[in-house]
């Protein structure tokens, strides 16, 4: 049996009365979680969902998400999770491209219902605490048999160019990655309480939050919409031991009013991923809250975890650590050849975590995995101890007058300024140089800083060709569904110039 949902059956058999999921006052035990998921599986089967069929899932972090997700897996279906903030035309694209037979969304869900009607598939709306509308048939007895290479999830990646592509993650991909996360990285047990504020429709929250909790019988406490102050209060209320987030979440907690009031002494591990953690944010967070942050790296296409600062090894701030068990990583040039020691190269990954391919895109798959190694598009350096240091996205590197400028380096310098909360460094078109370096900056609440002051601050820290000639202040920076800052969505003011 390779069905990922077997983990739920096993944990529920071992401790049926142990709390599994919490959302404020609503709690489901493992026994209740299993029974509800088996009812969902029965209802999907009664609606004609067969093993291998795709089921769309458009839910925030509410109790119904894990129940429907595991219910679909129990029925042998592959799940297509989507961001609840998507508009109707975007949902329509995902439904058409994946060939989903049915879609489940949080009521009232007008955009999803509209999209499903356009595509001609059934839309079922459910409440946040229980998917009652999808529990109207006899439950299945247990999981449908699935093989290791059968599809479990299609995760659409927001490619920097063109339409999103669906990364095909198998039962083996997800089972292996959550087991490695649980056993060697988080080292969690049934006694742990994991904070579920990362979106479950995104691979980081799905694997490292939900699937890892279910495997080990831990409690996952959910926050439907992230807020720094709320997160801190939930850590105190539920005795959260493992916090997983993207850097903007750590910054949001750090900068929230009364940040040091709640008692967060229960925290034993904080995990950061999704984008590079600014060293200054890491240092301030650890000082303020008295905990350790371990940074890792991965992508939708790698289930996601590929490397990590392992708990019992040296931690190097600014590094994404070393490859996890079952995974190999190397740095290659544009021809796919290994780069010399200390040189910048593109991260290539091989292992049990790498996706089967892009859904119905054989050419894209061949381009991304030309020889069994997945090409990530991320540039990094390797130090003498085998630790990887992300330099930047290949596509987001700025080439100014023939010199490579890595936005991450400029952002790190700006984060050292005491007034700076968030930064995005971008390249804008320049008639002579090709590209000029620019930066959008959001200040901490109540802080002040002049644009000229910020520019001079960076100028004193980086080579002359690197510092941003254009700096402007914004209230907030554009972010993706996980809270990751989206450089490509930064709007450049007209007086600055065009990208």
Q: Which CATH number do you get for residue 417? A: 3.30.300.30
Please determine, for residue 497, whether its predicted confidence score (pLDDT) is greater than 80. Answer: no
How high is the pLDDT of residue 404? 79
Residues 60 and 104 in one domain: yes
Instruction: Assign 237 a pLDDT band (cuts: 50, 70, 90).
Output: very high
Please determine, for residue 191, whether its predicted confidence score (pLDDT) is greater than 80. Answer: yes
Residues 442 and 457 in one domain: yes
Distance from C-alpha of 3 to C-alpha of 211, rounded to nearest angstrom: 12
Pick the last residue of a domain from 186, 210, 225.
225
Pick the last residue of a domain from 171, 190, 225.
225
Residues 364 and 405 in one domain: no
Residues 406 and 360 in one domain: no
Inter-residue contact 54 to 80 (CB < 8 Å)? yes
Distance from C-alpha of 105 to C-alpha of 275, rounded to nearest angstrom: 28
| Domain contains 213 | yes
Distance from C-alpha of 109 to C-alpha of 23, rounded to nearest angstrom: 20
Please determine, for residue 260, whether its predicted confidence score (pLDDT) is greater than 60. Answer: yes
Place of tokens 């669906």: 166
Residues 328 and 404 in one domain: no
Residues 15 and 116 in one domain: yes
| Domain contains 311 | yes
Q: What's the whole-model pTM score?
A: 0.89
Parallel, antiparallel, or unpaired for β 78-81 and 54-58? parallel
| Domain contains 367 | yes
How high is the pLDDT of residue 160? 47
| Domain contains 13 | yes
Give the containing element (helix H, strand E) for 400: strand 398-400
| Mean pLDDT lowest among 50-54, 86-90, 125-129, 170-174 | 86-90
What CATH number should be reported for the domain holding residue 384?
2.30.38.10
Residues 350 and 403 in one domain: no
- The domain of 376 spans 300-393
Please determine, for residue 177, whether its predicted confidence score (pLDDT) is greater than 90. Answer: yes
Distance from C-alpha of 215 to C-alpha of 175, rounded to nearest angstrom: 9
> What order of strands is seen across the sheet that includes strand 19-23?
26-29, 19-23, 219-222, 193-196, 242-245, 269-272, 293-298, 305-308, 322-323
Instruction: Assign 304 a pLDDT band (cuts: 50, 70, 90).
Output: very high
How high is the pLDDT of residue 187? 95
**Dihedral sign from CA coordinates of 325, 159, 365, 84:** positive
11-35, pLDDT tens digit by residue? Answer: 999 999 999 999 999 999 999 999 9
How high is the pLDDT of residue 162? 61
Q: Point out which residues pair with 38 in neighbouring strands.
A: none
Residues 76 and 157 in one domain: yes
Compute the C-alpha angle 484/485/491, nearest 5°.
Answer: 150
Please determine, for residue 418, whether its predicted confidence score (pLDDT) is greater than 90. Answer: yes
> What order of strands is seen across the sheet that includes strand 165-170?
122-126, 102-106, 54-58, 78-81, 151-157, 165-170, 357-358
Residues 203 and 59 in one domain: yes
What mean pLDDT is predicted for residues 101-122?
97
| Domain contains 44 | yes
Please determine, for residue 161, whether its predicted confidence score (pLDDT) is greater than 60. Answer: no
Instruction: Assign 463 a pLDDT band (cuts: 50, 70, 90).
Output: confident
Please determine, for residue 498, whether its predicted confidence score (pLDDT) is greater than 60. Answer: no
| Domain contains 23 | yes
What mean pLDDT is predicted for residues 346-358?
98
Instruction: Assign 499 a pLDDT band (cuts: 50, 70, 90).
Output: very low
Percent of all residues in the chain with a pLDDT value above 90, rounded to a whole number: 84
Please determine, for residue 261, whether its predicted confidence score (pLDDT) is greater than 90. Answer: yes
Residues 356 and 403 in one domain: no
Residues 126 and 13 in one domain: yes
How high is the pLDDT of residue 430? 87
What CATH number should be reported for the domain holding residue 87?
3.40.50.12780
| Domain contains 476 | yes
Instruction: Assign 159 a pLDDT band (cuts: 50, 70, 90).
Output: low
Residues 380 and 450 in one domain: no
- The total of structural domains in the chain comes to 3
Total number of residues shown for the chain? 499
DSSP secondary structure code for residue 258 in this structure: T
| Mean pLDDT lowest among 95-104, 114-123, 137-146, 457-466 | 457-466
**Dihedral sign from CA coordinates of 22, 25, 31, 34:** negative
Pick the last residue of a domain from 371, 393, 415.
393
Place of tokens 């904070």: 195
How high is the pLDDT of residue 380? 96
Instruction: Assign 157 a pLDDT band (cuts: 50, 70, 90).
Output: confident
Distance from C-alpha of 153 to C-alpha of 156, rounded to nearest angstrom: 10
| Domain contains 276 | no
Collapsing DSSP states into helix, strand and coil, what is residue 437? strand
What mean pLDDT is predicted for residues 395-403?
83
CA R_g for the chain: 23
Collapsing DSSP states into helix, strand and coil, what is residue 479? strand
């Amino acid at each position: 049996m390779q069905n990922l949902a077997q983990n739920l059956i096993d944990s529920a058999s071992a401790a049926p009365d142990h709390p599994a999921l919490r959302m404020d006052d609503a709690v489901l035990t493992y026994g209740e979680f299993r029974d509800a998921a088996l009812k969902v599986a029965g209802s999907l089967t009664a609606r004609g969902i067969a093993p291998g069929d795709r089921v769309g899932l458009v839910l925030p972090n509410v109790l119904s998400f894990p129940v429907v997700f595991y219910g679909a897996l129990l029925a042998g279906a592959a799940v297509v999770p989507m961001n609840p903030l998507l508009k109707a035309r975007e949902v329509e694209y995902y439904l058409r491209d994946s060939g989903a037979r049915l879609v489940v969304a949080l009521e009232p869900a007008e955009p999803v219902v509209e999209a499903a009607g356009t595509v001609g598939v059934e839309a079922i709306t459910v409440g946040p605490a229980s998917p009652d509308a999808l529990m109207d048939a006899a439950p299945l007895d247990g999981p449908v048999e699935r093989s290791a290479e059968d599809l479990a999830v299609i995760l659409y990646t927001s490619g920097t160019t063109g339409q999103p592509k669906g990364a095909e993650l198998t039962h083996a991909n997800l089972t292996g990655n959550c087991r490695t996360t649980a056993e060697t990285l988080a080292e969690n047990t049934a006694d742990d309480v994991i904070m579920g504020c990362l979106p479950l429709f995104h691979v980081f929250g799905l694997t490292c939050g939900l699937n890892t909790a279910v495997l080990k019988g831990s409690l996952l406490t959910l926050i439907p919409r992230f807020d720094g102050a709320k997160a801190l209060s939930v850590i105190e209320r539920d005795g959260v031991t493992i916090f997983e987030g993207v850097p903007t979440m750590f910054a949001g907690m750090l900068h929230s009013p009364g940040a040091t009031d709640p008692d967060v002494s229960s925290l034993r591990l904080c995990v950061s991923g999704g984008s590079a953690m600014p060293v200054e944010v890491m240092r301030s967070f650890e000082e303020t809250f008295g905990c350790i942050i371990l940074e890792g790296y991965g992508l939708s296409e790698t289930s996601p975890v590929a490397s990590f600062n392992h708990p019992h090894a040296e931690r190097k701030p600014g590094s994404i650590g070393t490859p996890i068990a079952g995974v190999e990583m190397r740095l290659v040039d544009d021809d796919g050849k290994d780069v010399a020691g200390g040189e910048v190269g593109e991260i290539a990954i091989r292992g049990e975590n790498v996706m089967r391919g892009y859904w119905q895109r054989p050419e894209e798959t061949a381009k991304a995995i030309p020889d069994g190694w997945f090409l990530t598009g991320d540039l990094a350096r390797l130090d003498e101890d085998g630790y990887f240091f992300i330099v930047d996205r290949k596509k987001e590197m700025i080439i100014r007058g023939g010199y490579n400028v890595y936005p991450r380096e400029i952002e790190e310098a700006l984060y050292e300024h005491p007034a700076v909360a968030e930064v995005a460094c971008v390249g804008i078109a320049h008639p002579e140089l090709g590209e000029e370096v620019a930066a959008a900056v959001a200040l901490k609440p109540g802080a002040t800083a002049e644009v000229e002051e910020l520019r001079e601050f960076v100028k004193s820290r980086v080579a002359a060709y690197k510092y941003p000639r254009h700096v402007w202040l914004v209230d907030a920076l554009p972010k993706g569904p996980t809270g990751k800052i989206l450089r490509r969505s930064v709007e450049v003011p007209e007086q600055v110039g065009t990208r």
